[in-house]
Amino acid sequence: MSDVIKNKILKNKRAIFDTEAVVQFNVAQIQVARSVIEENITDAQQSYLINAAGNRELIMRTTDDVFRNRLMMIELLQPTNNDQEAFQLSMANRVKVEYLEHRSKMNRKMVAINQKMADAIKALGDVTQTFYELNEEMVNYIDEIADSNGQWLDGELVQMMESSSGHGNEGRVSEIEEVLNSIKNSSTETRKIIAESFSTGDALKERLNGLQDGGNEMRDSVISLREKVDANQKRVSDHIDH
Protein backbone atom coordinates (compact mmCIF):
# COMPACT_ATOMS: atom_id res chain seq x y z
CA MET A 1 0.00 0.00 0.00
CA SER A 2 1.42 3.38 -0.99
CA ASP A 3 1.74 6.20 1.56
CA VAL A 4 -0.62 8.33 -0.53
CA ILE A 5 -3.47 5.84 -0.48
CA LYS A 6 -2.79 5.06 3.19
CA ASN A 7 -3.06 8.74 4.14
CA LYS A 8 -6.26 9.09 2.15
CA ILE A 9 -7.78 6.10 3.94
CA LEU A 10 -6.81 7.54 7.33
CA LYS A 11 -8.27 10.90 6.31
CA ASN A 12 -11.52 9.18 5.35
CA LYS A 13 -11.53 7.36 8.68
CA ARG A 14 -11.29 10.63 10.61
CA ALA A 15 -13.93 12.22 8.40
CA ILE A 16 -16.24 9.24 8.94
CA PHE A 17 -15.85 9.58 12.71
CA ASP A 18 -16.72 13.29 12.60
CA THR A 19 -19.60 12.77 10.19
CA GLU A 20 -20.98 9.95 12.31
CA ALA A 21 -21.18 12.32 15.28
CA VAL A 22 -23.12 14.86 13.20
CA VAL A 23 -25.52 12.26 11.76
CA GLN A 24 -26.19 10.59 15.11
CA PHE A 25 -26.71 13.99 16.75
CA ASN A 26 -29.33 14.73 14.11
CA VAL A 27 -30.97 11.37 14.81
CA ALA A 28 -31.35 12.29 18.48
CA GLN A 29 -32.52 15.82 17.72
CA ILE A 30 -35.12 14.57 15.26
CA GLN A 31 -36.55 12.28 17.95
CA VAL A 32 -36.67 15.16 20.45
CA ALA A 33 -38.24 17.54 17.90
CA ARG A 34 -40.93 15.01 17.03
CA SER A 35 -41.58 14.50 20.73
CA VAL A 36 -42.06 18.25 21.18
CA ILE A 37 -44.51 18.28 18.27
CA GLU A 38 -46.34 15.11 19.39
CA GLU A 39 -46.85 16.56 22.88
CA ASN A 40 -49.17 19.06 21.22
CA ILE A 41 -51.58 16.27 20.24
CA THR A 42 -52.88 16.11 23.81
CA ASP A 43 -53.12 19.91 24.02
CA ALA A 44 -54.93 19.98 20.67
CA GLN A 45 -57.45 17.39 21.86
CA GLN A 46 -58.00 19.25 25.13
CA SER A 47 -58.43 22.58 23.36
CA TYR A 48 -60.83 20.97 20.89
CA LEU A 49 -62.96 19.43 23.63
CA ILE A 50 -63.18 22.73 25.52
CA ASN A 51 -64.20 24.80 22.51
CA ALA A 52 -65.97 22.34 20.19
CA ALA A 53 -67.78 20.22 22.75
CA GLY A 54 -68.28 21.84 26.16
CA ASN A 55 -68.54 25.52 25.25
CA ARG A 56 -70.48 24.97 22.03
CA GLU A 57 -73.11 22.83 23.76
CA LEU A 58 -73.47 25.35 26.60
CA ILE A 59 -73.81 28.26 24.17
CA MET A 60 -76.40 26.45 22.03
CA ARG A 61 -78.56 25.64 25.06
CA THR A 62 -78.25 29.24 26.25
CA THR A 63 -79.30 30.49 22.79
CA ASP A 64 -82.40 28.29 22.91
CA ASP A 65 -83.29 29.60 26.36
CA VAL A 66 -82.80 33.28 25.54
CA PHE A 67 -85.15 32.94 22.55
CA ARG A 68 -87.62 30.89 24.60
CA ASN A 69 -87.77 33.79 27.05
CA ARG A 70 -88.24 36.19 24.16
CA LEU A 71 -91.16 34.23 22.73
CA MET A 72 -92.82 33.82 26.11
CA MET A 73 -92.68 37.60 26.70
CA ILE A 74 -94.56 38.08 23.42
CA GLU A 75 -97.03 35.34 24.29
CA LEU A 76 -97.79 37.05 27.63
CA LEU A 77 -98.84 40.27 25.87
CA GLN A 78 -102.56 41.04 26.16
CA PRO A 79 -103.65 42.82 22.98
CA THR A 80 -106.89 44.82 23.14
CA ASN A 81 -107.48 45.48 19.44
CA ASN A 82 -106.76 43.99 16.03
CA ASP A 83 -103.58 46.03 15.48
CA GLN A 84 -102.15 44.94 18.81
CA GLU A 85 -103.07 41.32 18.09
CA ALA A 86 -101.35 41.56 14.70
CA PHE A 87 -98.34 43.06 16.43
CA GLN A 88 -98.20 40.12 18.85
CA LEU A 89 -98.49 37.49 16.12
CA SER A 90 -96.05 39.14 13.74
CA MET A 91 -93.52 39.75 16.51
CA ALA A 92 -93.69 36.07 17.47
CA ASN A 93 -92.98 35.17 13.84
CA ARG A 94 -90.17 37.72 13.68
CA VAL A 95 -88.45 36.26 16.76
CA LYS A 96 -88.77 32.75 15.31
CA VAL A 97 -87.23 33.96 12.05
CA GLU A 98 -84.42 35.69 13.96
CA TYR A 99 -83.66 32.40 15.69
CA LEU A 100 -83.79 30.42 12.44
CA GLU A 101 -81.61 32.98 10.63
CA HIS A 102 -79.00 32.81 13.41
CA ARG A 103 -79.09 29.03 13.48
CA SER A 104 -78.79 28.85 9.68
CA LYS A 105 -75.71 31.10 9.74
CA MET A 106 -74.15 29.01 12.48
CA ASN A 107 -74.92 25.82 10.53
CA ARG A 108 -72.95 27.15 7.56
CA LYS A 109 -69.98 27.97 9.79
CA MET A 110 -70.16 24.63 11.60
CA VAL A 111 -70.25 22.61 8.37
CA ALA A 112 -67.12 24.49 7.28
CA ILE A 113 -65.51 23.53 10.60
CA ASN A 114 -66.48 19.90 9.96
CA GLN A 115 -64.62 20.05 6.65
CA LYS A 116 -61.55 21.49 8.38
CA MET A 117 -61.75 18.66 10.89
CA ALA A 118 -61.90 16.13 8.05
CA ASP A 119 -58.92 17.82 6.38
CA ALA A 120 -56.96 17.71 9.65
CA ILE A 121 -57.65 13.98 10.10
CA LYS A 122 -56.73 13.37 6.46
CA ALA A 123 -53.45 15.24 7.03
CA LEU A 124 -52.72 13.02 10.04
CA GLY A 125 -53.52 10.01 7.88
CA ASP A 126 -51.07 11.30 5.26
CA VAL A 127 -48.37 11.59 7.94
CA THR A 128 -49.10 8.02 9.04
CA GLN A 129 -48.87 6.84 5.42
CA THR A 130 -45.50 8.58 5.06
CA PHE A 131 -44.25 6.89 8.22
CA TYR A 132 -45.42 3.54 6.87
CA GLU A 133 -43.58 4.11 3.59
CA LEU A 134 -40.43 5.23 5.44
CA ASN A 135 -40.54 2.14 7.66
CA GLU A 136 -41.03 -0.03 4.58
CA GLU A 137 -38.00 1.59 2.92
CA MET A 138 -35.85 0.94 6.00
CA VAL A 139 -37.03 -2.68 6.23
CA ASN A 140 -36.21 -3.28 2.56
CA TYR A 141 -32.78 -1.74 3.04
CA ILE A 142 -32.07 -3.96 6.05
CA ASP A 143 -33.22 -6.97 4.04
CA GLU A 144 -30.83 -6.08 1.22
CA ILE A 145 -27.90 -5.65 3.61
CA ALA A 146 -28.75 -8.94 5.34
CA ASP A 147 -28.75 -10.72 1.96
CA SER A 148 -25.43 -9.07 1.08
CA ASN A 149 -23.97 -10.16 4.42
CA GLY A 150 -24.94 -13.72 3.61
CA GLN A 151 -23.19 -13.47 0.24
CA TRP A 152 -20.09 -12.05 1.93
CA LEU A 153 -20.11 -14.98 4.38
CA ASP A 154 -20.41 -17.38 1.44
CA GLY A 155 -17.06 -16.13 0.15
CA GLU A 156 -17.83 -13.03 -1.88
CA LEU A 157 -15.99 -10.68 0.50
CA VAL A 158 -12.83 -12.81 0.40
CA GLN A 159 -12.99 -12.95 -3.40
CA MET A 160 -13.35 -9.15 -3.56
CA MET A 161 -10.28 -8.75 -1.35
CA GLU A 162 -8.19 -11.22 -3.34
CA SER A 163 -9.02 -9.49 -6.62
CA SER A 164 -8.48 -5.96 -5.28
CA SER A 165 -6.04 -3.59 -6.99
CA GLY A 166 -4.42 -0.24 -6.28
CA HIS A 167 -6.58 1.44 -8.88
CA GLY A 168 -9.77 -0.06 -7.44
CA ASN A 169 -8.81 0.91 -3.89
CA GLU A 170 -8.03 4.48 -4.92
CA GLY A 171 -11.39 4.75 -6.69
CA ARG A 172 -13.16 3.47 -3.58
CA VAL A 173 -11.35 6.00 -1.37
CA SER A 174 -12.34 8.85 -3.68
CA GLU A 175 -15.92 7.63 -3.78
CA ILE A 176 -16.02 7.53 0.03
CA GLU A 177 -14.70 11.09 0.22
CA GLU A 178 -17.37 12.29 -2.21
CA VAL A 179 -20.16 10.55 -0.30
CA LEU A 180 -18.92 11.99 3.01
CA ASN A 181 -19.03 15.50 1.59
CA SER A 182 -22.59 14.88 0.42
CA ILE A 183 -23.59 13.54 3.86
CA LYS A 184 -22.01 16.56 5.56
CA ASN A 185 -23.93 19.01 3.36
CA SER A 186 -27.17 17.09 3.79
CA SER A 187 -26.70 16.93 7.58
CA THR A 188 -26.18 20.69 7.75
CA GLU A 189 -29.46 21.27 5.91
CA THR A 190 -31.18 18.68 8.10
CA ARG A 191 -30.05 20.50 11.23
CA LYS A 192 -31.67 23.71 9.94
CA ILE A 193 -34.95 21.85 9.38
CA ILE A 194 -34.73 20.36 12.87
CA ALA A 195 -34.34 23.86 14.34
CA GLU A 196 -37.45 24.94 12.41
CA SER A 197 -39.30 21.91 13.80
CA PHE A 198 -38.51 22.99 17.35
CA SER A 199 -39.77 26.50 16.59
CA THR A 200 -42.94 25.10 15.00
CA GLY A 201 -43.60 22.85 17.98
CA ASP A 202 -43.09 25.69 20.47
CA ALA A 203 -45.31 28.07 18.48
CA LEU A 204 -48.03 25.43 18.19
CA LYS A 205 -47.90 24.74 21.92
CA GLU A 206 -48.21 28.45 22.71
CA ARG A 207 -51.18 28.80 20.36
CA LEU A 208 -52.97 25.73 21.75
CA ASN A 209 -52.39 26.87 25.33
CA GLY A 210 -53.86 30.23 24.35
CA LEU A 211 -56.92 28.51 22.87
CA GLN A 212 -57.36 26.48 26.05
CA ASP A 213 -57.10 29.58 28.22
CA GLY A 214 -59.44 31.47 25.93
CA GLY A 215 -61.90 28.58 25.95
CA ASN A 216 -61.88 28.44 29.75
CA GLU A 217 -62.43 32.21 29.95
CA MET A 218 -65.30 31.94 27.45
CA ARG A 219 -66.89 29.18 29.53
CA ASP A 220 -66.83 31.47 32.56
CA SER A 221 -68.37 34.25 30.48
CA VAL A 222 -71.14 31.98 29.21
CA ILE A 223 -71.85 30.80 32.75
CA SER A 224 -72.23 34.45 33.78
CA LEU A 225 -74.47 35.00 30.76
CA ARG A 226 -76.55 32.02 31.80
CA GLU A 227 -77.16 33.73 35.13
CA LYS A 228 -78.56 36.72 33.23
CA VAL A 229 -80.72 34.48 31.02
CA ASP A 230 -81.96 32.52 34.04
CA ALA A 231 -82.77 35.75 35.87
CA ASN A 232 -84.82 36.93 32.89
CA GLN A 233 -86.50 33.54 32.74
CA LYS A 234 -87.49 33.92 36.39
CA ARG A 235 -88.96 37.35 35.66
CA VAL A 236 -90.88 35.96 32.67
CA SER A 237 -92.10 33.04 34.78
CA ASP A 238 -93.42 35.45 37.42
CA HIS A 239 -95.70 37.02 34.79
CA ILE A 240 -97.28 33.71 33.80
CA ASP A 241 -100.81 33.22 35.23
CA HIS A 242 -100.94 36.88 36.36
Tens digits of residue pLDDT in 16-37 = 999 999 999 999 999 998 888 8
Structure confidence at residue 1 (pLDDT): 61
Where residue 112 falls among pLDDT bands split at 50, 70, 90? very high
- For residue 232, the model assigns a pLDDT of 86
pLDDT of residue 84: 96
Average pLDDT in the chain: 91
Using pLDDT thresholds of 50, 70 and 90, give the confidence band for residue 5.
confident
Does pLDDT of 2 surpass 80? no
In percent, the amount of the chain with pLDDT more than 90 equals 63
pTM: 0.76
Give the pLDDT confidence of 175-205 residue by residue, as tens digits. Answer: 999 999 999 999 999 999 999 998 998 898 8
**Does position 83 have pLDDT exceeding 90, yes or no?**
yes
Rg (CA), the chain: 35
| DSSP assignment string, the chain | --HHHHHHHHHHHHHHHHHHHHHHHHHHHHHHHHHHHHHHHHHHHHHHIIIIIIIHHHHHHHHHHHHHHHHHHHHT----SHHHHHHHHHHHHHHHHHHHHHHHHHHHHHHHHHHHHHHHHHHHHHHHHHHHHHHHHHHHHHHHHHHHHHHIIIIIHHHHHHT--HHHHHHHHHHHHHHHHHHHHHHHHHHHHHHHHHHHHHHHHHHHHHHHHHHHHHHHHHHHHHHHHHHHHHHHHHHTT-
Q: What local confidence, expressed as pLDDT, does residue 104 receive?
A: 96
Average pLDDT value for residue range 10-19? 90
In this prediction, residue 140 has a pLDDT band, given cuts at 50, 70 and 90, of very high
- Mean pLDDT within 131-147: 96
Q: What is the pLDDT of residue 99?
A: 95
96-105 per-position pLDDT tens digit: 999 999 999 9
Q: Report percent pLDDT > 70 for the chain.
A: 99
Residue 53 predicted with pLDDT over 70: yes
**pLDDT value of residue 230:** 87
CA dist 234 and 227 (Å) reads 10
Per-residue pLDDT at 242 exceeds 80: no
pLDDT at residue 3 greater than cutoff 80: no
